[in-house]
Amino acid sequence: MQDQDFKQQDWRRFISSLGENPDRPGLLETPHRVEKAWKHWTSGYQQNPAEVLKVFEDGAEQYNELIVVKRIPVYSHCEHHLAPFFGTAAIGYLPNGKIVGLSKLTRLVDCFARRLQVQERLTTQIADALMEYLEPKAVGVVISCRHMCMESRGIQTAGEETITSALLGELQPNLALRTEFLTLVREK
């Protein structure tokens, strides 16, 4: 309880440092709401990617083509400014006798996105986790996001997207497989 009160006092001091009155009626509940929001936005620190990914051998014995899930929502916060960045991810992999529950790919994105991040690290963390825990022949991850640290401050250009990718395993040397993955990701 004392720790919780201390956190709320920190948020009250923050509100005061902005030149606002934390005792103003509209701000009375703000410290509690902000604390609750940040616990949600950073809940990825309490998640283990190995536990997020449920791997199946049944159904994958004969499957040897790419599996791609795209338009996965990404919501994260930049570690430099604590500003939001958001967009979508596409994940593909070439099974090696095992598959993963499709919803687990979205959960894996959330696991890493709900941490203070840079988009480049987020992209490689997702790809590396899939390679480690699923052990596929190939993994591809493409993330496209808008960054509020650029849009609402700094250069202040609305609508710019940053695209990052990680191509691991057979996607690196195999031009045909890489082209197929990138074509599937781009299709509407």
Looking at residue 137, what is its pLDDT?
A: 97
Q: Is there a catalytic annotation at residue 78? A: yes
> Which listed residue (80, 132, 160, 172) is catalytic?
80
Cα–Cα distance list, 38 to 76, 99, 114 (Å): 11, 33, 9
CA dihedral 106, 109, 114, 116 (to 10 degrees): -170
> Which listed residue (77, 125, 147, 180) is catalytic?
147
Domain with CATH 3.30.1130.10 in the chain: 45-186
The CATH code of domain 45-186 reads 3.30.1130.10
- In tens digits, the chain (188 residues) has pLDDT values of 445 555 778 889 999 999 999 999 999 999 999 989 999 999 999 999 999 998 888 777 788 899 999 999 999 999 999 999 999 999 999 999 999 999 999 999 999 999 999 999 999 999 999 999 999 999 999 999 999 988 888 788 888 999 999 999 999 999 999 999 999 999 87
